[in-house]
Every structure is written in structure tokens, then in C-alpha cells.
Amino acid sequence: MVSVKERIIEVILFLCSLLTVLITLGIIVILASETFNFFSKVSIIEFFTETEWTPLFANKKFGILPLVCGTLLVTVIAILVALPLGLTIAVYLNEYANQKFTAVVKPLLEILAAIPTVVYGFFALTFVTPLLQRVLPNLSGFNALSAGLVMGVMIIPYISSLSEDALRAVPKSLREAAYGMGSTRLQTAFKVMVPAASSGIIVSVILAISRAIGETMIVAIAAGQEPKLTLNPLTSLETITTYIVQVSMGDVPRNSIEYSTIFSAGITLFIFTFLLNNISFVIKRKYHQKYE
Amino acid sequence: MNNSQVNRIKDTAFKFFAIACTFFGLLVLAVLLYDILSKGLTRIDLDFITNLPSRRAASAGIYTALLGMIWILVLTVIIAFPIGIAAGIYLEEYGKRNRFANFIEINIANLAGVPSIIYGILGLELFGRILGLGNSILTGSLTLSLLVLPLIIVSTREAIKAVPKSIREAAYGLGATKWQTIYSIVLPSSFGGILTGLILAISRAVGETAPLIVIGALVYVPFAPTNPMDEFTVLTIQIFNWVTRPQAGFVTNAAAAIIILLLFTFMMNGIAVILRNRYNKKTRF
């Protein structure tokens, strides 16, 4: 009797963990089937080569490039902020600061990642953009620059915390050998510790990139809704995520071509983040083996 | 100046640069909080909390958004917590070394990295369309449940992993079955860690906007929801709506609503930190 009960409980627990696989399958099936519908009406060549994205206008064009370009431009700005700051903070906390300081500062910085993104959107639109406009008079009200800068600050803790963990996992003997050779803390940090922790640091950066690509509310509020194939951060543009929000807020009839565009945009986004996440996972696996 | 002096100077210069970087992050946080408080604090009063939404900024309130948020949270907790904890227990206690568990682990790492807006698309089709739940509270909470599930599973596993093998073996030695051991030994001693994860999951759910917009949550709900099939709005969507309006009065409203939202977020994260510290101290076996 007891063993039957044990068995039933195990099966229930198993089914709960199986659910996570079904979620992934559900995402893939739903995105793929609606995208299939989409490509029965729009040529796949147009999707990848057309330079305009105007599904909501009378003259419809379906080129994903402007959305991808907007997404990548904001992401690059965010990483340009987060990577130098995050890595410097990680090195400082690990090599220079005393433990008490680290214990206080690390959780404080992690608050940055806990603030809801809609709040950052508000901050970018109503504080950072007006501030930047004083220095850059031709900055438009919606722009990639302030959205990217604010997003960069938001993802600092992703890089600083994960890189700090990676640095801390480096065996102490390596650091002491460097000191023994007469290295300064700076030399030890960047010539010994950072290279030794490089895979962990790369993982943190990839995760931060993936987070930035999928980020929605900051760009939806502060970067505008004009799909443009441009590298100019001072004008308004549109990211993949903003487009999905834009369609969801409007009155688009189901089964229309406009409605199915959110799935083709969605699967593009999903493929980007899926690849990045898997790359980081593979690196993480290798890195754990290295120190075992 | 010899080489070693140059190196020393570089070392010190980097130190000050790094301190500046660290405080830059904290400075932005402080400026953000100050900016929002200065814009919105005076707007908060009892009327703001209890008023229905309005087309006039001065009389608009967050009553329906707050109620919608509480509905969503309670249902998400009821749906996601049991499933997440059960899955965490399975992966840590039962299927630890088989191939399936390895596959699930990769899968969960992947799910945690899927952008939240993609969960919105999943919820829109799966719950809204195929199951016919429309843009109801239930669709919203099912969608958010899927979103926070990886978080709950990972923190449950971490918490269970911290329970030492010896006390498990002591239970087996007394003749307890596997489930008896888990239920009366492992779960109680990992309770703090699991609870911390749950609270962080709630905090995450409170701050989500994009997936709820995608499933079709409304921006203007003039009534308080009374059952899970009602249409709804939440605080974050209300903020988004107000931010995107041109009139100055709505910016003030948005800032005021953000203060309320941040109070929730900070409270949740604060409780999580306190719990984690207490739990870390308590359970050294």
C-alpha cells in the first residue's frame, strides 16, 4: 500500500517537471504554426531583404530588417554602458574592496535589476531624454540613445554580479602566484584573474545581451514606434518587442495578416535569445568542468 | 620614475575609476528614486488609491488597477507555487542523475531566458484563444504562472540541495519512506530558501507589463473585477498608459503609481533578503 502511494506521488511530481518541457514545446509550436501561416501570404525573401516594415499601413511591406536593426542598436548601446561598468565593478569588488563593502554594495546594485522595467521607461522618457536634449539639441523626444543608456544601467548587475561570482571561483593560488611575482592588484586582476574567469564573464555578457534584446517596456515607452533602418541613435526607431506591444494595444482583427506579423516578429526574437541562451549554457558547462 | 612606480600609479588610478563606476550605478538609482518621488509624492492620497480611472488626470485613481493586480497575484501564487515546488522536488530528489533530468535542466535554463513578451504570445494563443479564456484575469495569471515557474523551480532546487545528506539518511535509517523523508524532513528544513524564491517570484510578477499587454489586458477598466473571468488591468499597465499620454497631469499620476509599485517591489525584495540571511544563519547543520 505504501509503495503505491509513493509511486503515485513520484508520478505527480514527474508530471509537474514535464510541464516545463511542454511550455517550451508550446512556445515553439504556436510561434511556428502562425509564422507558417504568415509565410503562406508573404514571401520569405521579402521578409529578410525588404528594408521597410509597414504592416499596419495601406501599402504593406514586410521587411524584418528595420526591427532587427532597431533592436540591435539599442542592445549595443546598452552593452556599451553595462560591460565596462559591470566588469570594472566586478573587478573592484573582488580585488580591491573589503568584504564588508562588497556585502553592502552588491545587494544595493542588484536593486537595479529588481526595479520593474516600466519604471525605467518612465525615467528614460521624462528624465534622461530631456537631460540629454540640453547637450544634444537635435535629439528627438523618442530615441534609441536614452532607452539604450537606461537599459544599460538596468543590466549592470547582470554583468557585475555574475562576473564577480566567476572571479571569486578562480582558485586563490593563481592570485597569490601573481602577487608573488610582484604584480600590482591591477595587473593581477586583468592579466591573471579576468582571463582565468573569462568563460564566466562571457556567460554574464551573453545573458545581459539576451536580456537587452528581449526587453520591452523601456523601448516601448522611450524609443518610439517608427521602424527605421538606421544606425543613428538620436532618432526614434522601433524594436521587435515594441512592435508586438504596438499591435497588441491596437484593434487588429484576429486571422488578419497584421495579427500574424506578431508571430513572425516573435519567432525572430525567440530565435535570437534561444541561440544566445544555449551558447551561454554550453560555455557554462565547459567552465564548470575546467575547475573540477 | 621607474616601472614599478608607474604600475603603482596605474593601480591607484584604476581604484578611483572603479569606485566612481560603482557609485555611478548607485547614483543613477538615487536619482531615479528622487526624480519619481519629487514628481509623484504629492499626488498620493486616499482618493488616488480608491478612485476609479478617469479621463481627467486630477480625479483618476488606481483602485481597479490595484485590485486587478491583487487578483492576478493571488491566482498566480495558487497556480504556480505547487507546480513549481513539485517540479523542483522531482528534479532534485528523484530524477537527479538520469538523462531526462539533464534535458529538463537545459530546458529550464532556456525558459528563464525567454523574453517575457514571448510568454505573452503563448498565453494569448494557448489560454486566450485555444482554451477560450479571452483576456480574463485567469488568462493573465496562467501566463504569469508559466513565466515565474522556472524561477520557483530553480530556487526550490537550490534550497533542497542545501539540506545535507546525513539528515536524509538518518530519516531512512528510522524506516521512513522517500516521500515521508521529503515531506517531514527535507521540505521543512529548506522552507526558508523555498519561501525566498517564492517571494522573488511574486516580485517579478508584480513588475511584469509586456506579457499582460499582449494577452489583451485593458488599459481602461471602470469597474472592479469580481471573478477570475472578468477583464482587468494592473498597476504596471496603468502606469504605461499614463506615461504615454501627453498631458502633464498624467505624468504626475504615473509617478505616483510608480511609488506604490516600487513600495511593493522593495517590500518583497526586502523580505526576501531578510529571510535569506536568517535562513543562512539558522540552517548550518
**To 10 degrees, the CA torsion angle through A283, A285, A288, A292?**
-130
CB contact under 8 A, A216 and B210: yes
Q: What is the pLDDT of residues A98-139, one digit of tens each?
A: 889 988 898 899 899 899 999 999 999 999 999 999 999 999
Q: What are phi and psi of B26, to 5 degrees?
A: -70, -35
Residue A237 DSSP class: -
Above 70 in pLDDT, residue B269?
yes
Sign of the alpha-carbon torsion through B161, B163, B164, B165: negative
For residues A206 and B219, the model is more confident at A206
A49 vs A243: CA distance, rounded Å: 19
A132 vs A140: CA distance, rounded Å: 10
Looking up cell 523555498, which residue turns up? B194
Q: What is the pLDDT of residues B139-165, one digit of tens each?
A: 999 999 999 999 999 999 999 988 888
Q: Which of B18, B87, B210 lies closest to A88 in CB terms?
A: B18
Confidence (pLDDT) at A120? 96
- Tell me the shortest Cα–Cα distance from B232 to chain A, in angstroms: 14
B22 vs A92: CA distance, rounded Å: 8
Residues linked to residue B136 through DSSP beta bridges, in sequence order: B231
Contacts of B7 in chain A (CB under 8 A): 184, 186-187
Residue A212 resides in a domain: yes
Confidence (pLDDT) at B75? 96
How do the domains of chain B map onto residue ranges? 50-282
Listed in sequence order, the residues at least 6 apart from A32 whose beta carbon sits closer than 8 Å to its beta carbon are A267
Residues linked to residue B231 through DSSP beta bridges, in sequence order: B136
| A185 → chain B, closest CA residue | B11
B236 vs B257: CA distance, rounded Å: 8
For residues B262 and A290, the model is more confident at B262
Q: Count CB pairs under 8 A between chains A and B.
A: 245
Looking up cell 557585475, which residue turns up? A160
Above 50 in pLDDT, residue A292?
no
Residue A16 resides in a domain: no
Q: Which of B31, B106, B121 lies closest to A266 in CB terms?
A: B121
CB contact under 8 A, B207 and A116: yes
Q: Give the H or E element holding residue A199.
A: helix A198-214
Cα–Cα distances (Å) from A200 to A7, A166, A194, A281, in that order, read: 40, 5, 9, 10
3-class SS letters over B224-265: CCCCCCCECCCHHHHHHHHHCCCCHHHHHHHHHHHHHHHHHH
Residue B136 DSSP class: B
Listed in sequence order, the residues at least 6 apart from B1 whose beta carbon sits closer than 8 Å to its beta carbon are none
A171 vs A179: CA distance, rounded Å: 14
Above 80 in pLDDT, residue A271?
yes
Contacts of A126 in chain B (CB under 8 A): 35, 39, 243, 251
Above 80 in pLDDT, residue A2?
no
Sign of the alpha-carbon torsion through B261, A130, A146, A236: positive
For residues B224 and A20, the model is more confident at A20
Residue A266 resides in a domain: yes
Q: Which of A30, A85, A274 lies closest to B125 in CB terms?
A: A30
Interface of B with A in 121-180 (CB under 8 A): 121-122, 124-126, 129, 146, 149-150, 153, 177-179
Confidence (pLDDT) at A1? 58
Q: What is the pLDDT of residues A41-70, one digit of tens each?
A: 889 999 999 888 988 888 888 999 999 999
Residue B256 CA neighbour count, 13 Å, CB half:
21
What average pLDDT does range A10-36 have in this prediction? 93
Judge whether B183 and A94 are in contact, CB under 8 Å.
no
A203 vs B102: CA distance, rounded Å: 19
A241 vs A224: CA distance, rounded Å: 12
Of A104, A77, A94, A240, whose CA–CA distance to A162 is shortest? A94
List the domain range (segments joined by +) for residue A162: 65-290
**Band of pLDDT at residue B76, cut at 50, 70 and 90:** very high
| B272 → chain A, closest CA residue | A107
Residue B156 CA neighbour count, 13 Å, CB half:
26
Q: Which of B126, B177, B209 lies closest to A30 in CB terms?
A: B126
Judge whether B29 and B23 are in contact, CB under 8 Å.
no
Joined grid coordinates for residue A190: 586583468
Above 50 in pLDDT, residue A87?
yes
A233 vs B162: CA distance, rounded Å: 47
**Band of pLDDT at residue B274, cut at 50, 70 and 90:** confident
Residue A1 resides in a domain: no
3-class SS letters over A130-142: HHHHHHCCCCCCC
Above 50 in pLDDT, residue A219?
yes
How many domains, chain A?
A: 1
**Band of pLDDT at residue A89, cut at 50, 70 and 90:** very high
| CB neighbours of residue B273 within 10 Å | 15
Terminal-residue alpha carbon distance, chain A: 43
- Which range has the worst mean pLDDT, A34-43, A175-184, A277-286, B275-284? B275-284
- In CATH terms, the fold of domain B50-282 is MetI-like fold (1.10.3720)
Instruction: Name the percent of chain B in helix, strand, coil, to the closest 5.
Output: 80, 0, 20
- Tell me the shortest Cα–Cα distance from A161 to chain B, in angstroms: 12
Residues linked to residue A53 through DSSP beta bridges, in sequence order: A62
Judge whether B275 and B155 are in contact, CB under 8 Å.
no
- Which range has the worst mean pLDDT, A207-216, B97-106, B115-124, B255-264? B97-106
Confidence (pLDDT) at A35? 93
What average pLDDT does range B28-40 have in this prediction? 95
Residue A61 DSSP class: -
∠ CA B267-B268-B269, rounded to 5°: 95
Residue A79 resides in a domain: yes
Helix axis angle, A144-168 relative to B3-40, nearest 10°? Answer: 130
- Residue type for position A41: K
B26 vs A214: CA distance, rounded Å: 24
Judge whether A86 and A158 are in contact, CB under 8 Å.
yes
**Band of pLDDT at residue B94, cut at 50, 70 and 90:** confident
| CB neighbours of residue B38 within 10 Å | 10
Which of A12, A20, A215 to mutate to probe the B interface, most B CBs <10 Å?
A20
Q: What is the CATH number of the domain that holds A229?
A: 1.10.3720.10
Above 50 in pLDDT, residue B89?
yes
Residue A234 resides in a domain: yes
B178 vs B167: CA distance, rounded Å: 13
Q: What is the mean pLDDT of chain B?
A: 90
Q: How large a percentage of chain A has pLDDT more than 90?
A: 71
Q: What is the pLDDT of residues B172-195, one digit of tens each?
A: 999 999 899 999 999 998 988 899
Burial tier of B238 (Cβ tally within 10 Å: 0-12, 13-18, 19+): buried
Confidence (pLDDT) at A107? 87
Contacts of A127 in chain B (CB under 8 A): 31-32, 35
- Which range has the worst mean pLDDT, A156-160, A201-205, B93-97, B246-250? B93-97
Q: Is A53 helix (H, G, I), strand (E, B) or coil?
A: strand
Q: What ipTM did this prediction achieve?
A: 0.92
**Band of pLDDT at residue B50, cut at 50, 70 and 90:** confident
Confidence (pLDDT) at A242? 95
